[in-house]
Structure 1
Amino acid sequence: MMDAFERFGLIINDHVVKTPVAIASMAGIVDARYVLERKNHIGAAFIGGYAIDRPTMDAAKEIAARGERKEFLYDDPIAALGAEIELLRDSGVVAGINLRGGSPEAFTAIADAFGDEVVYEVDAHCRQAPMIAAGAGEYYLKNPGALVAVVKALKAKNVTVSVKIRVGVSGDDQKLARALWGAGADILHVDLMDAGSAKLRQIRNSCPLMLIANNGITGFDRMREMLSHGADLVSLARQSDVGTLAGLDAAISRFADDEGWYNSPKQLCRGGDIRALTFCCMPVKECPLLPALKRIGMSKEEYVRMKMDAVKGTPLEAGPNTCFGSLAWCCKTSSPCMFRDMTLASDKLSKREYMRRKRELSDTLMTRVFHDVPSPESG
């Protein structure tokens, strides 16, 4: 039986994530006790949202008074959050706190209180009118400069930063993703609404941030769709019942143990994201590889050199009986290939180990593709 890191290779805030299943915040509902009831089947949880300054706390009271939805109400956010964080300390779940505030100072005050104990998630997601009027939630998607300022302020505190967004609200989700990457964000928690996996793929092709896909992910097929288009984790909110979480956790663990790469992308020619360069062959024919290289500003020669350098000294370097003389150019195990399989058998390399090595190659390629961090202003 593999341990969690060997199976998924996920680390958040210097903690191993035991499964790529997370709980997303729901105001007034998702707190530490909610998480603890589900801790056996999740790897991360974002409690909240929590209002952290006077304007957002007043907004929360207004929302609750209207009976529109539940909210967490308190007068001292530091005390309220401290009690929740304490309950989660030994849970085995990577803890994040989803925060609603209208200024960088509101967020850094929380970071000063709790340091690197938790992940700080900037709520740029809430669409309740009082929160937007208080300069929080979706206000940030319409005012990305203000969001960048919050992220930069939090990163100056040397903490792990997530940003929860809703796609289709900002003018350009890809540009926003790049701006948040440039500002220092670590995680992008994406509510896909009805946009589906194509939007997720676009964001993955824009930045190397850890991506959490959210909304409507209640079955394994939907989960794999998100993972194969760029997600590192998936999160559930309204349907985060124990049974659903347990089913997803068990299914993705089995898949990882069998396949070797739990979130392997579709091949580029079948709609895969940029990570799928690891499965692409030599650039010798008209295929989706060529426009993909053009989009990332890489020549054919650079691509060939980058890939061969990356596999040097690894089991993927060899492969004289394959189409291009190296397993570096071979496709995914889900695609039938007699020559690849003969080479794997000859080298005594299991398909699972082959996919694990392809993941390592993909990680190297991603590091090189996204080597130059953009300025947050340029996006």
Structure 2
Amino acid sequence: MFSPRVALASLSGEADADWARAVADHVGCAFLGGIALDEATRGAARAMTDRDRSEFLPEDPTAFVDTQLGALAEAPLRGAFNVRSATPGPIERVAAVCRDHGAVVELNAHCRQAEMCAAGAGETLLRDRDALSRQVRAAADTGAAVSVKVRAEVDGVDLPELAQRIEAAGADAVHVDAMDSESVVADIAEATDLFVIANNGVRGRATATEYFEYGADAVSVGRASDDPEVLGAVRETAGDWVAGEATP
């Protein structure tokens, strides 16, 4: 899906093309966003900014995605966009834009902010597998590569089973915020053929190696995504791991 097998994880209201280009030599993919697409999630994002959360709120979200991905056209990485929506229509439109840029559209079933969950997006989708599957199908039917960002340690949610559902709906990748349950990465990797991106606490060789040992295909870096030293160490680890896999 991308190489080197290190991604930048989206940081709401901060992860734009400039952020990605600044460290592009260290990573294979950058998940821009997240961005709210429909009226319900845009209303939630506006409420979140009222309590000092950082959010992207352009007048035209689809045009914003197009412009931001276009700004990565010459960067040595694969673009991706993390999106939030309670309805599939806007996802379909943005997925088509991602497809045209050779980018990944990532459906956010991860955000746990109360406003976004009340709007029917983010973590709420982990408990509504049918709605999440509809979103995956809407995106996949455009021909775009589709990732789903999920969170571990949500009561009542079986992530390996959920991963099987989204794979059947047409997803290509699952981006797992492992929280404090790193072994869930192994459970998902064993349950599906999805490209598994492991996230949470990746700060260097030791943490990256742990996720690769659990079966991750790639790792992503969030809060340390602007630290070239961290990214360099993680990239070196990913390269060593892939080279070891290829050795007879």
TM-score after normalising by structure 1: 0.62
User: CA deviation digits over 1:214-243, x for unaligned, max 9?
Assistant: 000112011111111110100011111222
- Asked if residue 356 in structure 1 is aligned to residue 247 in structure 2, the reply is yes
The residue number in structure 2 matching 1:41 is 26
- Asked if residue 131 in structure 1 is aligned to residue 116 in structure 2, the reply is yes
Give the Cα–Cα distance (whole angstroms) in 1 for the partners of residues 34 and 160 of structure 2.
25
- Asked if residue 202 in structure 1 is aligned to residue 187 in structure 2, the reply is yes
**Amino acid in the other structure paired with 1:147:** L
**Amino acid in the other structure paired with 2:168:** G
Give the conservation status (yes or no) of the 8 Å contact 2:96–2:144: no
The residue number in structure 1 matching 2:152 is 167
- Asked if residue 86 in structure 1 is aligned to residue 67 in structure 2, the reply is no
The residue number in structure 2 matching 1:98 is 82
SS at match of 1:18: coil
Give the conservation status (yes or no) of the 8 Å contact 1:124–1:163: yes
Q: Which structure features the higher share of strand residues?
A: 2
- Asked if residue 177 in structure 1 is aligned to residue 163 in structure 2, the reply is yes
Give the Cα–Cα distance (whole angstroms) in 2 for the partners of residues 22 and 218 of structure 1.
13
The residue number in structure 1 matching 2:243 is 260
Give the conservation status (yes or no) of the 8 Å contact 1:39–1:93: yes
SS at match of 2:220: strand
Give the conservation status (yes or no) of the 8 Å contact 1:25–1:47: yes
Give the conservation status (yes or no) of the 8 Å contact 1:26–1:49: yes
Give the share of equivalent positions with the same residue, in percent. 36
Quick one: structure 1 residues 218 and 134, their matched pair in 2 at CA, closer, same or farther if it must change by over 3 Å?
Answer: same
Give the Cα–Cα distance (whole angstroms) in 1 for the partners of residues 98 and 194 of structure 2.
23
* Structure 1 residue 114: Cα displacement: 4.5
**Which of 212, 221, 231 does residue 245 from structure 1 map onto?**
231
Map 1:207-218 to 2 at 5 A: 207-218=192-203
**Which of 40, 43, 54 does residue 58 from structure 1 map onto?**
43
Give the conservation status (yes or no) of the 8 Å contact 1:161–1:185: yes
* Structure 1 residue 200: Cα displacement: 1.0
Quick one: structure 1 residues 26 and 244, their matched pair in 2 at CA, closer, same or farther if it must change by over 3 Å?
Answer: same
- Asked if residue 153 in structure 1 is aligned to residue 153 in structure 2, the reply is no
Map 1:263-274 to 2 at 5 A: 264=245
Query: Which structure would you say has the larger RCO, counting Cα contacts within 8 Å and 6 or more residues apart?
Result: 2
User: CA deviation digits over 1:190-213, x for unaligned, max 9?
Assistant: 0000102x2111111100100000
**Amino acid in the other structure paired with 1:23:** L
C-alpha RMSD of matched pairs (Å): 1.5
Gaps of 5+ in 1: 1-11, 265-354, 358-379
The residue number in structure 2 matching 1:119 is 104
Give the conservation status (yes or no) of the 8 Å contact 2:107–2:148: yes
The residue number in structure 2 matching 1:109 is 93
* Structure 1 residue 103: Cα displacement: 0.9
Give the Cα–Cα distance (whole angstroms) in 1 for the partners of residues 235 and 19 of structure 2.
17
**Amino acid in the other structure paired with 1:87:** A
Map 1:288-299 to 2 at 5 A: none
